């Protein structure tokens, strides 16, 4: 059964070879590797074309449209019954596809999920999220979607990362609305999981760590982004609408989504690199009606200790202390 591995590429000449080689050297051989050059301006386009000699590789060159548009272009060009995505600055273990495929087929699942390591400039960090060996075949929204889009860190609550990568999907589960742009919402990966779940009956998790996620200082998650507050509000709005549509009234998980909106926005403001700019953004966020409502939703007993500290400082408008708390955490 053919598996399509989709690799979106934008200016990754430093890491691209290791990424694609790790896919092509894998133990599962019935694959097509679709490499999507999203208007790169470095040597990446030439490097992509060098792989055309391998019959398993197809290369697409397109004008720049962002990560989601590249993933979508790759998906639309793919022919596999099963789909996975690998970011071009990451790389995978030799058994990445094989183990995800075996888990999916053996369990009759629609999605299989594995864990990951972090690669910090060559230093492999193994103390990363531990995926359970688990099958979810009931209450997909409550047991899979909400632990992704509404994380709560108190005892008794499961949480899962929402990465698009590190998963194998049955093709028919991926629909047009899964591909919402990272230029419109943050994080787009969480929303992808939210919508893909609408077509899913069973999900299997395996504890194997099969992806090497690279801590890339140039990645979107490590840089200040304009309009982050607005994109996070869009995210929470989509989550709220989704819950209403599916008759889910989980106030705790919605609180988790609302708190995430503020918490990540503050982290983004800190990435400006100076207190004055950060303070000015925090003031604007704190004045927003949505932020005021979100702060009222929070149940402090469900927060981690440092989240509690942040919540208190931000609610009291102690922006200098918020700034130095984030500096300490980073």
Which residues, at least 6 apart from 147, have a Cβ–Cβ distance to it below 8 Å? 157, 158, 159, 160, 253
β-sheet bridge partners, residue 4: 32, 83
Q: Name the phi and psi angles at 142, rounded to 5.
A: -65, -35
Decide the pairing of beta strands 82-85 and 167-170. antiparallel
Residue 1 has what pLDDT?
Answer: 67
Same domain for 251 and 145: no
Give how many domains the chain has, as a whole number.
Answer: 2
Calculate helix-pair angle for 228-245, 188-196, nearest 10 degrees.
Answer: 10
Q: Give the ranges where 151-250 is alpha helix by DSSP (H).
A: 188-196, 228-245
Peptide bond into 187 cis (omega under 30): yes
pLDDT of 197 over the 70 cut: yes
Determine the Cα–Cα distance for residues 163 and 213; give it in Å rounded to an integer.
11
User: Percent of the chain, pLDDT > 70?
Assistant: 97
Strand, coil or helix: 169:
strand
The rounded mean pLDDT for the chain is: 95
Strand, coil or helix: 14:
coil
Residue 217 has what pLDDT?
Answer: 59
Same domain for 194 and 46: yes
Cβ distance 28 to 104 under 8 Å? no
219 part of a folded domain: no
What's 299's DSSP letter?
-
Same domain for 48 and 177: yes
Domain with residue 165: its CATH number is 3.90.550.10
Same domain for 148 and 51: yes
Q: Predicted confidence band at 325 (pLDDT cuts at 50, 70, 90)? A: confident
Cβ distance 69 to 180 under 8 Å? no
Which residues, at least 6 apart from 185, have a Cβ–Cβ distance to it below 8 Å? 191, 231, 232, 234, 235, 238
Q: Please state whether 156 falls in left (phi above 0), alpha (psi between -120 and 50) or beta.
A: left
Same domain for 168 and 54: yes
Same domain for 128 and 61: yes
Same domain for 142 and 175: yes
Q: What is the pTM of this model?
A: 0.94
Residue 219 has what pLDDT?
Answer: 56
Same domain for 200 and 238: no
Domain that holds residue 288: 224-329
Residue where a domain stops, chosen among 214, 236, 260: 214
Q: Name the phi and psi angles at 30, rounded to 5.
A: -85, 70
- For the chain, percent helix, then strand, then coil, each to nearest 5? 50, 20, 35
Same domain for 261 and 159: no
Cβ distance 207 to 99 under 8 Å? no
pLDDT of 15 over the 80 cut: yes
Same domain for 101 and 24: yes
């Amino acid at each position: 059964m053919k598996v399509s591995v989709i690799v979106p590429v934008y200016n990754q000449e430093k890491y691209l070879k290791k990424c694609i080689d790790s896919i092509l050297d894998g133990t599962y051989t019935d694959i097509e590797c679709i490499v999507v050059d999203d208007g790169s301006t470095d040597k990446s386009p030439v490097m992509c074309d060098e792989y055309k000699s391998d019959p398993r590789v197809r290369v697409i060159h397109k004008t720049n449209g962002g990560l989601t548009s590249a993933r979508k272009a790759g998906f639309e060009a793919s022919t596999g019954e099963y789909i996975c995505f690998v970011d071009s600055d990451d790389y995978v273990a030799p058994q990445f596809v094989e183990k995800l495929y075996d888990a999916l087929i053996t369990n009759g699942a629609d999605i299989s999920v594995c864990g990951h390591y972090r690669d910090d400039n060559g230093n492999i960090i193994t103390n990363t999220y531990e995926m359970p060996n688990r099958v979810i075949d009931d209450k997909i929204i409550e047991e899979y979607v909400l632990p992704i889009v509404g994380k709560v860190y108190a005892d008794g609550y499961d949480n899962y990362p929402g990465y698009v990568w590190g998963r194998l999907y049955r093709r028919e589960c991926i629909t047009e609305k899964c591909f919402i742009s990272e230029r419109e919402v943050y994080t787009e990966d969480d929303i992808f999981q939210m919508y893909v779940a609408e077509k899913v009956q069973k999900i299997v998790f395996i504890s194997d760590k099969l992806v090497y996620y690279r801590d890339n200082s140039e990645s979107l998650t490590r840089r200040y982004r304009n309009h982050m507050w607005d994109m996070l509000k869009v995210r929470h709005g989509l989550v709220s609408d989704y819950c209403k549509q599916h008759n889910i009234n989980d106030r705790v998980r919605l609180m988790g989504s609302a708190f995430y909106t503020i918490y990540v926005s503050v982290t983004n403001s800190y990435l400006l690199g100076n207190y004055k700019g950060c303070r000015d953004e925090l003031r604007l966020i704190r004045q927003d009606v949505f932020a005021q409502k979100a702060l009222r939703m929070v149940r402090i007993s469900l927060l981690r200790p440092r989240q509690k500290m942040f919540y208190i400082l931000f609610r009291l408008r102690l922006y200098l202390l918020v700034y130095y708390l984030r500096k300490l955490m980073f």
